[in-house]
């Protein structure tokens, strides 16, 4: 056989070839290498050497059979180096998910964007990709950051990875797995908020923030400030005007007005405006009939922004958007290498449920990518991302590609997708099993 694979081996061969190489094949699996066998005989599944150890349960052995094929030649592909060959083979084996295989074995240096719907095997492929990075890329778990949208998802991902590593270790006893299991705790699987918090702790001192610096969004306070500033505004108005409040804010209700102001204010932050810029911003002239509303927005937003700034100073806090800005300053001041000395290395940044990221979060990902020269792997649902927040007509995917392109960083946003839906498949299968009489076999 060819040179020894480090992570996986695709073997396209007939029964007799597989039998003749059985010891080599088992020795690969015993070293933790995943074997994908493509053959034309069901008998392969009954091979004693395969059955007596739990290779299949440990997901180290995957057998695909198509009995209609004549196999005249043997093909081997180690570690995904020849994707085209595997693609050709996969055409005769519909059970094999070539889309997942390509993502898992993508070049180590590529930034990857995966578009995939619910139940298409996203989590599965992310775990496989991480194992590939461990085994083929020799990546240390501490160099991986994975952002999930909930803490629950972070815990799940961690548990699944751990389970996968343990079952492989149980079977193979390969000491590398012990190393990864031991170091799994150092892999940062976190929500963006808790990750940013720890990053701030690591780098904050460089920008003069003390150890007690905090990352806060002040969401509750922001609404309260808006309400209070609106009260003040209306009180002044009532002293000087004729008419009533309703005519100014009509047709909105008070709580709707608070929402409108809140959204408008957030837009400034999402667009990367600094506090100073907001305070000095020119709100322009309103169309006739909307002058009052324009004035109200300008007055209230500037007031609340000033309170926000003061609150952050008082509490030694930053927002996520401030953190991105601070990271930009650090780079300007100390050069691109600054972060490599300051913080633990981030070689790979994974983002799950990427479609839900807002502009501030996307900017944060790009900032991290730039600061650490990290590789990106983002996965999300394109269908759910179209009108992702408050009327924006671009997707999170497009925004990320745009920001990276501005920095001359390429991301592969075309080639990686998952189409096969495993949940639907299962549901259909269950129906068929539950109603066997409805299936007529010829």
120: contact with ligand ATP by CB under 6 A: yes
Picking from 145, 114, 112, 147, the residue whose alpha carbon sits closest to that of residue 361 is: 147
Backbone angles phi, psi at 115, to 5 degrees: -105, 120
DSSP 180: H
User: In the complex with ligand ATP, which residue's Cβ is closer, 8 or 100?
Assistant: 100
Per the CB < 8 A criterion, the answer to whether 317 and 216 are in contact is yes
Query: Which of ligand ATP, Mg ion, none is residue 90 near (CB under 5 to 8 Å by kind)?
Result: none
380 part of the interface to ligand ATP, by CB under 6 A = no
Query: x/- binding map, residues 93-112, to ligand ATP, per CB under 6 A?
Result: ----x--x------------
Residue 124 within binding range of Mg ion, rule CB under 5 A: no
Q: How far is the CB of 122 from ligand ATP (least distance, A)?
A: 3
CA-CA distance, 383 to 312, in Å (whole number)? 37
**Three-class DSSP category at 9:** strand
Interface stretch with ligand ATP, choices 119-127, 225-233, 390-398, 400-408 (CB under 6 A) = 119-127
Cβ–Cβ under 8 Å, residues 388 and 356: yes
Instruction: Find which of Mg ion, ligand ATP, none residue 120 binds, CB within 5 to 8 Å per kind.
Output: ligand ATP
Q: Taking the complex as a whole, how short is the minimal distance between the CB of residue 421 and ligand ATP, in angstroms? A: 8
Quick one: which segment of 55-63, 120-128, 143-151, 241-249 binds Mg ion (CB under 5 A)? 120-128
Residue 156 binds to Mg ion (criterion: CB under 5 A): no
Tokens standing for residue 407: 């920095």
214 three-state secondary structure? strand
375 strand-pairing partners:
348
Nearest to 265 by CA among 225, 236, 213, 235: 225
**Minimum distance of ligand ATP from residue 106's CB (angstroms):** 16
CB of 61 to Mg ion, least distance (A): 24
Chain centre distance of CA 311: 32
Residue 123 found at the interface with Mg ion (CB under 5 A): yes
* For ligand ATP, the closer CB: 154 or 199: 154
Cα gap 349→373, rounded to integer Å: 10
Q: Which residues bind ligand ATP (CB under 6 A)?
A: 97, 100, 118-124, 422
Q: Which residues bind Mg ion (CB under 5 A)?
A: 122-123
């Amino acid at each position: 056989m060819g040179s020894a694979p480090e992570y996986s081996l695709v073997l396209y061969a007939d029964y007799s070839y597989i039998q003749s190489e059985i010891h080599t094949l088992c020795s690969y699996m015993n070293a933790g290498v995943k074997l994908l066998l493509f053959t034309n005989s069901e008998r392969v599944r009954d091979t004693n050497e395969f059955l007596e150890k739990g290779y299949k349960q440990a997901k180290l052995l995957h057998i695909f059979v198509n009995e209609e094929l004549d196999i005249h030649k043997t093909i081997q592909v180690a570690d995904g180096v020849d994707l085209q060959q595997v693609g050709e083979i996969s055409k005769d084996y519909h059970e094999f998910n070539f889309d997942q295989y390509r993502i898992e074995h993508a070049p180590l240096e590529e930034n990857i964007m995966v578009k995939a719907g619910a139940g298409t095997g996203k989590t599965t492929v992310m775990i496989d990709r991480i194992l590939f990075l461990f085994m083929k890329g020799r990546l240390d778990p501490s160099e991986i950051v994975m952002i999930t949208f909930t803490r629950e998802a972070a815990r799940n991902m961690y548990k699944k990875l751990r389970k996968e590593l343990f079952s492989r270790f149980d079977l193979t006893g390969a000491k590398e797995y012990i190393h990864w299991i031991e170091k799994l705790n150092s892999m940062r699987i976190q929500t963006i908020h808790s990750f940013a918090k720890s990053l701030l702790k690591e780098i904050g001192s460089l920008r003069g923030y003390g150890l007690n610096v905090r990352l806060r969004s002040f969401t509750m306070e922001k609404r309260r400030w808006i309400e209070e500033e609106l009260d003040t505004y209306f009180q002044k108005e009532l002293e000087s005007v004729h008419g009533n409040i309703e005519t100014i804010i009509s047709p909105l209700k008070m709580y709707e007005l608070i929402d409108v102001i809140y959204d408008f204010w957030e837009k400034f932050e999402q667009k990367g405006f600094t506090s100073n810029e907001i305070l000095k911003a020119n709100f322009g002239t309103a169309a006739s009939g909307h002058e009052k509303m324009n004035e109200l927005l300008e007055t209230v937003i500037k007031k609340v922004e000033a309170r926000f700034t003061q609150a952050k100073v008082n509490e030694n806090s930053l927002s996520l958007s401030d953190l991105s800005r601070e990271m930009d300053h650090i780079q300007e001041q100390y050069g691109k290498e600054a972060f490599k000395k300051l913080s633990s290395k981030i070689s790979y940044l994974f983002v799950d449920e990427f479609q839900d990221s807002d502009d501030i979060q996307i900017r944060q990902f790009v900032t991290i990518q730039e600061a650490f020269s990290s590789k990106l792997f983002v996965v999300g649902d394109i269908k759910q991302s179209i009108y992702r927040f408050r009327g924006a007509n671009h997707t999170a995917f497009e925004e990320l590609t745009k920001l990276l392109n501005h920095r001359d960083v390429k991301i592969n946003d075309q080639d990686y997708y998952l189409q096969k839906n495993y949940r639907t498949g299962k549901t259909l299968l269950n129906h068929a099993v539950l109603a066997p009489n409805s299936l007529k076999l010829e």
